[in-house]
Amino acid sequence: MRWSFFKKKSTEHKQISEILSRVADEVDMFQAIDAMDESQTQQTSKMSQSPSMQSHVYYISASPDNHIEKKHIFDILERKSRSCISEFPLDDDGYTQNTSMISSNQPITVIILWSHSYNEDDQCKHNFQNLTRLYQQFFPTIRIVFLQLNPNDQMTDNVPEGCLLLPGFDRVSRELAIFKIVEEEHLSTDKS
């Protein structure tokens, strides 16, 4: 009996050690990203004061089933001092209720958290169609980025040309994806 007790404890310690190691790796990675953000902020602070280099406003389109991932993206954007809107100003027909928001040349980035549940949800499908139409109408003021939450989920064939498709399978890949999206804000507005 004694041997099985120690064997069980040893296995538990090994599992806990592995979990702590993964958490430590993620924390270090997050600290590294934050450090890069700080150095980039210092280098680009003069450029960001010019009107053509204004930060994007972000909108996240996600299935209700992906509320945890959506909250994670909000938290990352908040850490990066980016504004988020909780609802895109569309009416029932998919037309924007507030065209001044789009026509004011305030850049908007729409992040679509693509998953099986997004693809199956009627409200998400309707939202996707409306956002795609607005993207085509107001490019380059609006950009669309797809974060694929599961590598096994089939991507839609209706991805508009020029949209980014990035992995968002786990917390680390979502961190890196948002880092890339924020870093490339000025590239999407320079293409106009």
Q: What is the mean pLDDT of residues 140-157?
A: 90
Q: What is the pLDDT of residues 92-118, one digit of tens each?
A: 554 555 555 555 667 899 999 999 999
Q: Are the C-beta atoms of 58 and 70 separated by less than 8 Å?
A: no
Q: Is residue 6's pLDDT more than 70?
A: no
**Burial of 50 by CB count in 10 Å (0-12 exposed, 13-18 middle, 19+ buried)?**
exposed
**Residue 64 to residue 50: CA distance in whole angstroms:** 38
Compute the mean pLDDT over every residue in the chain, rounded to the nearest whole number.
76
Q: Is residue 37's pLDDT more than 80?
A: no
CATH 3.40.50.11530 assigned to 51-190: yes
Q: State the amino acid at position 105 in one-letter form.
A: N
Q: What end-to-end distance do the CA atoms of the chain give, in Å? A: 73
Q: What is the mean pLDDT of residues 145-149?
A: 95
- pLDDT for 67 equals 95
Checking 1-6 for CB contacts under 8 A at 24+ apart, the result is none
**Residue 145 to residue 170: CA distance in whole angstroms:** 17
Q: State the amino acid at position 18 in one-letter form.
A: E
Integer Rg of the chain from CA: 20
Domains in the chain: boundaries: 1-49, 51-190
Nearest to 167 by CA among 152, 182, 156: 152
Q: Are the C-beta atoms of 96 and 134 separated by less than 8 Å?
A: yes
pTM comes to: 0.69
β-sheet bridge partners, residue 84:
58
pLDDT band at 1 (very low <50, low <70, confident <90, very high): very low
Which tokens hold the place of 75? 């938290």
Q: Is residue 150's pLDDT more than 80?
A: yes
Task: State whether the Cα torsion 61-63-64-65 is positive or negative.
Answer: negative
Q: 112 CB contacts (<8 Å, ≥6 apart)?
A: 61, 62, 118, 128, 131, 144, 145, 146, 147
How crowded is the C-beta side of 19, counted as CA atoms within 13 Å?
6
Other C-beta atoms closer than 10 Å to the C-beta of 87 total 7
Q: What is the mean pLDDT of residues 74-83?
A: 93
**Residue 72 to residue 109: CA distance in whole angstroms:** 16
- pLDDT for 148 equals 94
